[in-house]
Amino acid sequence: MSDSVLTDTAQPPGKDISRSMLAEQVKLAYSQIGFGLLATMFCAIVYMTVVWDDVPFARLLIWFTALTALTFIRSLSSTIFFRQKPGAEGAFRWSVIFNASAFLSGLLWGMAGVFLFPDNFIGHQVFLILLVAGLSAGTASTYTAIKWAAPLFILPSMGILTIKVFTINGDIYQEMGAVMVLYIFAILGSAGRINRATMNTLSLRFENVDLIVELEKTNKKFRQLSEATFEGVLVHDKGEILFTNNVLPEMFGYKAGEMAGLNALDFVAPEHRDFAKDKMLSGAEEPYETSGIRKDGSKIPVEIHGKPVPYEDRIVRMVAIRDLTKRKESETALKESEERYRDLFENANDLYYTTDLEGKFTSVNMAILDTLGYRREELLGRHYSIVTPPELIEKAREMTQRKLDGEKRTRYELEIIGKDGRKIPVELSTKLIIKDGEPVGVQGAARDMTERKKAEDALKILKNALDQTSEMVFITDSEGVIEYVNRAMEKITGYSSKELIGRTPRIFKSGAHESEFYANMWGAIKAGNIWSDQIINRNKFGELATEEMTISPIKDNKDDITHFVSIKRDISERKRSEEKLKKAKEKAEEATKLKDKFVSLVAHDLKTPFNSILGFLALLRGGKTGSLNPSQNEIVDRALIGGEKLVLLIDDLLDLSLLQSGKLTLRQIPFYIIGVIDDVIEEIGYLAECKNIKIEIEVSKEKKVYADMKLFHGVIRNLMSNAIKFCDKGGLIRIFTLNDSDTTIAVSNTGVEVDPRILDNLFKHEIKTTTRGTGGEEGTGFGLPFCHDVMKAHGGSIRVESQKAEGSAFYVYFPSGQSD
């Protein structure tokens, strides 16, 4: 009930008590009509919104207009009633008006069940039924001050709607209709009881003054009790405070007596006053929570529980106010704790779930959904067998039973099944969920072991690989204590893993190294560097072995060294072989020196007499000693040619010897290439003429090269001689340069190709590749290796291209800066 708006109505002398009671009934009814009218319009608007697309607009408009007009008239009549303040004489007329308006309102809601009934959507039908039923329930409490007001609303509204429901085919509608009939009788019975209670109250008020006196006594007792309560208590009339107990002022920071005459809404925070006012006006008796405001402006959470009570000669509102500060603090702490738990549960990396005792999932976290590939709704309410291999279901039941029998948390490994059928290895831990001392479910925490299994498998593979390698591998901690050795380590050192693990590498110390050697090693690896060197160690049997050893630090995520891994290879045999090879190399170098010395001496000794011989032959050929016949001239010519070739060969041999020994100093100067080519042609051009070979020169006269002219001359001469040798009679030799930034000079000839089998060995001294020329010419086999060494000494190179039926081309290359 709302706060009473009735004026004092003392019993008029000589008037009938029943008429006075009717007047009070009418006043009470009109005082309660306001909230009912608001509820009616609110429900009408909500219903129109719900069925807007299901009911013709014209019907909705007509119905809503009629209901709005009736509501306006009822509101207007209520206003007129309170302005006129009619006495007992007009009570009957106003009761008729009230009953008539209640009937018309019920009739309009009943018509909604006929003309606005949503035929095609049962949800909207049920909504309409609940809406009208709710309005009827409201009238049962607010209209019952006048006996027939509530039935006049309930019967047309619920009755017409019930008839409509019975007319629809379907068992569910018949059942709904039957329920509605029972509801009508129940609500009418409730309205009757409330009306009788109201009548009894009014009757007692007017007929028994002794009861009023008794009420005063009761009020006194109430005041005494209210002072003893822990709650703040106040009584107000339309908000004006009439009474407070001593607890309330203390709660709100006032002194005793300061609250008298204040408005009850003054103790509600401004932002909640409209809400509290609505509660007061509606007569709500249900407790509600809001925010109170103390005298100093601070706010406190409170629970307000109010109800109408008779006070002296009127109906007022008694309110109990409870300070919820401590309860709210406890609730907040509990909520925060629950949220933290929920957040930890939901976002944990491990798989968390709960089931009831039947094994049906009641909650799962995101990790389970991500791992198994299910959506949450696909698991909740389903038995855990959906993710458990068939062969493990019985074991899972056994684990649950063992916990019910008193066993604590259990932990075991198993596989679960994802939505896609894949099996996922997990480590599962479960415990019972206890509530009020009784088990209500099981909580499980599983850890996906897929990556761990992969790591274990990878570790097995790594261990097998280390065990099967021929190199010795051992791992120590950061202090050098051995934690792992492979099989090669056991086999080569003679120690077993049991003998080595827990020891330090000092066990292999041979005494062949100074302490400084080990200090440098330890300092390097402790600084995080890789140490690699040769070391002499001693095996279990006392034998010494030279080893090639590398030690690498192993670091954790914080860049701290946790272990060292050492890899050793026994290179004793290799060292012995290297020593033999070193001695052989020294002997070979000594032999080479002797050879070079011998060649140099022989070349010098040969060159002097050959020059004399060539001089005498030149005299003979020139006729200085007398004329020669043609046959003799031919013999002398051949001797001269052979002698000159031999002298050139001796010169090349001397240069080659000096090149290989590193004693030849290059005398590099810039010179024109064409000049050297012309000199070479002048020297050996007759050889080309003998085979009728044409020589074409395609080298710019301005082209220079920076090189040792004598050695360059030897290179061009050897290449020209080689080209003439392998060129067919009547063939062509070309000497040309390539168009590039460096100098590349080419000598090509038509004729036979170079045998592909010797192509890669043409420039090697150690492999003789000489073959006869097209005219049966023989060669020495060191001309091309000589060219290679000369070009290498200049920082250049030489290469060959050869094709069948096209001949060969040799290219000598001088790098940038050596050409112009």
First CA to last CA distance, the chain: 117
**What 3 state SS string does 762-803 have?**
CCCCCCCCCCCCCCCCCCCCCHHHHHHHHHHHCCCEEEEEEE
- Please name the amino acid found at residue 302: V
DSSP type of residue 313: T
Ranges of the chain with pLDDT below 70: 1-17, 204-230, 338, 344, 409, 588-626, 632-634, 636-664, 740-742, 765-766, 768-769, 775-776, 778-781, 816-820
- Please name the amino acid found at residue 119: D
3-state secondary structure of 496: coil
For 734, the token pair is 């070309």
pLDDT the model gives residue 213 = 54
Tens digit of each residue's pLDDT (9 = 90 or more) over 583-598: 877 776 666 566 556 5
| Integer CA distances (angstroms), 454 to 322, 447, 457, in order | 62, 14, 5
Closest of 456, 463, 445, 450 to residue 423, by C-alpha: 450
Please state, in angstroms and rounded to a whole number, the distance separating the CA atoms of residues 88 and 22. 7
Please, which residues have CB within 8 angstroms of residue 82's CB and are 6 or more apart in sequence? 5, 30
Please state, in angstroms and rounded to a whole number, the distance separating the CA atoms of residues 545 and 537. 6
Sheet holding 472-477, edge to edge: 482-485, 472-477, 561-570, 544-555, 531-538
Please, which residues have CB within 8 angstroms of residue 534's CB and are 6 or more apart in sequence? 546, 547, 548, 549, 571
Closest of 283, 240, 295 to residue 265, by C-alpha: 240
For 409, the token pair is 């948390």
3-state secondary structure of 663: coil
Beta strand 732-737 with 694-698: parallel, antiparallel or unpaired? parallel
* Runs of H (alpha helix) within 622-672: 630-661
Please state, in angstroms and rounded to a whole number, the distance separating the CA atoms of residues 122 and 431. 46
pLDDT the model gives residue 630 = 75
Report angle CA 582, 550, 538 to the nearest 5 degrees: 70
The DSSP bridge partners found for residue 698 are 736
For 813, the token pair is 């290359």
The DSSP bridge partners found for residue 223 are none
Place of tokens 């925010």: 291
Half-sphere exposure of 628 (CA within 13 A, CB side): 17
Cα 251 from chain centroid (whole Å)? 53
For 123, the token pair is 């949800």
| Integer CA distances (angstroms), 265 to 32, 230, 240, 294, 534, in order | 21, 21, 9, 12, 95
Helix orientation angle between 572-621 and 630-661, rounded to the nearest 10 degrees: 150
pLDDT the model gives residue 769 = 66
Decide: 812 and 756 in contact? Cβ < 8 Å: no
DSSP type of residue 53: T
Please, which residues have CB within 8 angstroms of residue 112's CB and are 6 or more apart in sequence? 47, 63, 128, 132, 161
- Please name the amino acid found at residue 72: F
| Integer CA distances (angstroms), 280 to 273, 312, 393, 561, in order | 10, 20, 61, 75
Please, which residues have CB within 8 angstroms of residue 538's CB and are 6 or more apart in sequence? 508, 509, 510, 511, 544, 545
pLDDT the model gives residue 694 = 92
pLDDT the model gives residue 603 = 56
For 389, the token pair is 């291999």
**What 3 state SS string does 69-109 have?**
HHHHHHHHHHHHHHHHCCCHHHHHHHHHHHHHHHHHHHHHH
Determine if residue 758 is left, alpha or beta; phi over 0 gives left, psi from -120 to 50 gives alpha, anything else beta.
Answer: alpha
Cα-only R_g, the chain: 60
Please state, in angstroms and rounded to a whole number, the distance separating the CA atoms of residues 26 and 92. 8
**What 3 state SS string does 234-272 have?**
EEEECCEEEEECCHHHHHHCCCCCCCCCCEHHHHECHHH
Please state, in angstroms and rounded to a whole number, the distance separating the CA atoms of residues 733 and 560. 72
Please, which residues have CB within 8 angstroms of residue 788's CB and are 6 or more apart in sequence? 763, 798
Half-sphere exposure of 75 (CA within 13 A, CB side): 14
DSSP type of residue 5: -
Report angle CA 437, 441, 445 to the nearest 5 degrees: 120
- In CATH, what class is 665-814? alpha beta
What is the b/e burial string over 147-156, where b = at least 16 CB atoms within 10 angstroms of the residue's CB?
Answer: bbbbbbbbbb
pLDDT the model gives residue 463 = 78
Where does 453-570 sit in CATH, by number? 3.30.450.20
E strand intervals along 109-265: 232-237, 240-244
Q: Which H or E element spans position 315?
A: strand 314-323
E strand intervals along 409-560: 410-417, 423-435, 438-448, 472-477, 482-485, 531-538, 544-555
Closest of 145, 159, 138 to residue 42, by C-alpha: 138
| Integer CA distances (angstroms), 465 to 453, 469, 472, 802, in order | 18, 6, 12, 50
For 623, the token pair is 């006729």
- Please name the amino acid found at residue 103: F
3-state secondary structure of 116: coil
Q: Which CATH number fits domain 211-329: 3.30.70.1560, 3.20.20.70, 3.40.50.300, 3.30.450.20?
A: 3.30.450.20
Please state, in angstroms and rounded to a whole number, the distance separating the CA atoms of residues 818 and 378. 82
Report angle CA 415, 421, 425 to the nearest 5 degrees: 20
In CATH terms, the superfamily for domain 348-448 is PAS domain (3.30.450.20)
